[in-house]
Amino acid sequence: MRKLSILFSIAAILYGCSSNNNTKEERVGLAAKNGMVVSAHPLASEVGLATLKKGGNSFDAAIATMYSLAVVLPKAGNIGGGGFMIYRTASGETGTLDFREMAPSGSKRDMYLDESKEVIENKSLSGHLAAGVPGSVAGMDAIHKKFGSLPFKDLVQPSIDLAINGFELTKYDADIINRFQEDFIKHNIDTPFLFREKEFEAGEKIKFKDLGETLKRIRDNGRDGFYKGVTADLIVKEMERGGGIISKNDLENYKAVWREPLTGSYRGHKIISMPPPSSGGIALLQLLKGSEKFDFKNYGHNSANSIHIMTELMRRVFADRATHLGDMDYYDAPINELLDSSYIANRIADIKLDKATPSEEIKEGKVDKIESFETTHFSIVDKEGNAVAITTTLNSFFGCKVMVKGAGFFLNNEMDDFSIKPGEPNQFGLVGGEANAIEPGKRMLSSMTPTIIEKDNQLYMVLGTPGGSTIITNVYQTIVNVIDYKMSMTQAVDTQKIHAQWLPDEIILEREFPEKTIQELRTLGHKINTIEQIGRMQAILHFPNTEYPYLGAADITRTGNSKASGY
């Protein structure tokens, strides 16, 4: 490990540790002495880095990065959505913050079903009724009150500057906005400014003036600048125009919740992740506990054998997710039983090395007591060693596609993450039951899996990714890549991923796998589907007691604008 650290340190010296990194430096991994920000947009990473340089801690940088992403990454960065934070302080204290969206008080269990109790297509995905009560602003407010060291106004101001003064679109930014033009006009009562006949182009400067004014109200009034006053009025008026149900009381009553993290171990490493309403932490720990029974190193990375075993583990974990998990404030999820070593051993006992198990034969595990796709993740570590992993989301690209008139931001479509009908899959193919049924004030189940790892009682890794249901399996594979296959952080991020869940009964392979591997998997009885991209990991690896202790790995091999910035 010391040798590896020295290698990265030399690379950093050769290429410079500035925040202006070329592609070659990115693929080596950016090494830094004093702090690291890895996010899905270069401008947001630079804002986070500038906050660290001003003496801010990781929590300050997280707030500044979050609000900047709300401007420069409107498809996913947000103040109209919600998310989760995992943290580990320099002293070793760990915890989580749940600022997940909530079902409005006017929600009803069957609100997306017709008179025949059949799902109304797209009703939970697009338009005003798909939006849950946003949590992002309350989350940032809670973080600052507990951990902030710089004035809150100073942390929001960079995002205001970006919105009011404008910024240049990358090709990826422009392409995404152009792709959803029809959706913008279809689902907004009044034409949003992002809709126009002429296509947006790379290098074009874009300004979000309404959003800038909204951010000013947040800067000056904290959470009250969003959940009360002008912005709240604009949200409620938007709901009234489009048939949505978020009320003033829903906004005023929203609260972010501090929760105890879930912890486990994997081959001598401590894993720290999210509890429900995220399913990510439980699923990740189940996958890793099951993986300890198999010798992935000898199977070989992305071999048919390793993919087969991972798929079998994933199917069982997602079957459990479908039945047993939901918002703990409304449903007594059997967390201890699901993570019990005996339970895991029983669940994986019927895995065969030479044959796939059809999903129809994999039911949820029996316990004594039944208790976007567009997400973005950023990882931050400061010079003191405080670490933050935040995953935040609108769910789909641009959420429900509705921009709040006069406020300049998109609302989420997180209501689709509830089980709108038992056994009916959501947009990610995930099914659910009673545990995740719609109830007023309830938080919908999520797959977001921000995670921090310790080794020898010291910070080791900070990671997370977007990707709907693939978030869980992507985080899992990245951890296995580093720990089992001894990959560098960048290799672990870049390498092809796979995904499987209980339903549909198939393995998803990313990009081009060798035909020999595909045929071997089919011989084992697996159905194969190939897609272009799985996730967009943003990770940091920590090497204690070295000159350059932080190695940032931004995923630039997949579409997007990810960047690691350190100093």
Question: How many domains, the chain?
Answer: 1
Q: Does the pLDDT of residue 333 top 50, yes or no?
A: yes
Distances (CA, A) of 273 to 279, 351, 388, 468, 475: 10, 26, 12, 17, 11
Task: State the residue for tokens 């899996």.
Answer: 449
Alpha carbons 123 and 237: distance in angstroms, whole number: 20
Identify the pLDDT of residue 17.
Answer: 36
Question: 10 or 225, which is more confident?
Answer: 225
Torsion angle of the four alpha carbons 449, 154, 30, 171, in this order, in degrees rounded to the nearest 10: 80
Identify the pLDDT of residue 431.
Answer: 59
pLDDT level of residue 366 (50, 70, 90 thresholds): very low
Q: Is residue 196 part of a domain?
A: no
Written as one letter, the residue type at 50 is: A
Q: Is residue 94 part of a domain?
A: yes
DSSP string across 317-356: HHHHHHHH-S-TTTS---HHHHT-HHHHHHHHTT-BTTBP
Q: Rounded to a whole number, what is the distance in angstroms from the first to the last CA of the chain?
A: 22
Identify the pLDDT of residue 367.
Answer: 39
**Has 65 been annotated as catalytic?**
no
Chain segment 474-506, per-residue pLDDT in tens: 999 999 999 999 999 999 999 999 999 987 889
Distances (CA, A) of 18 to 52, 96, 497, 539, 555: 14, 31, 30, 18, 18
Q: Does the pLDDT of residue 79 top 50, yes or no?
A: yes
Q: Is residue 142 part of a domain?
A: yes
Identify the pLDDT of residue 359.
Answer: 72
Residues 6+ apart with CB under 8 A from 58: 35, 52, 87, 380, 381, 382, 386, 387, 388
Question: 330 or 29, which is more confident?
Answer: 330
Q: Is residue 172 part of a domain?
A: no
Q: Which of 51, 375, 451, 557 is catalytic?
A: 375
Chain segment 160-199, per-residue pLDDT in tens: 999 999 999 999 999 999 999 999 999 999 888 899 989 9
Q: Does the pLDDT of residue 550 top 80, yes or no?
A: yes
Q: Does the pLDDT of residue 19 top 90, yes or no?
A: no
What range defines the domain where residue 283 resides? 2-166+207-566
Which whole number is the average pLDDT over 220-239? 98
Residue 98 has, within 13 A of its CA and on its CB side, a CA count of: 29
Identify the pLDDT of residue 421.
Answer: 85
Identify the pLDDT of residue 428.
Answer: 59
- Contacts of 202-206 with CB under 8 Å at 24 or more apart are 202/168, 202/169, 202/170, 202/171, 202/173, 202/174, 203/168, 203/169, 204/168, 204/169, 204/174, 205/166, 205/167, 205/168, 205/169, 206/166, 206/167, 206/168, 206/169
Alpha carbons 33 and 550: distance in angstroms, whole number: 6
Q: Does the pLDDT of residue 226 top 60, yes or no?
A: yes
Q: Is residue 178 part of a domain?
A: no
Q: Is residue 177 part of a domain?
A: no
Which whole number is the average pLDDT over 380-387? 98
Identify the pLDDT of residue 157.
Answer: 98
Chain segment 404-444, per-residue pLDDT in tens: 999 999 999 999 999 988 767 666 555 567 889 999 999 99
Cα 140-145-148 angle, rounded to 5 deg = 80
Mean pLDDT of the chain: 91
Q: Is residue 195 part of a domain?
A: no
Identify the pLDDT of residue 511.
Answer: 87
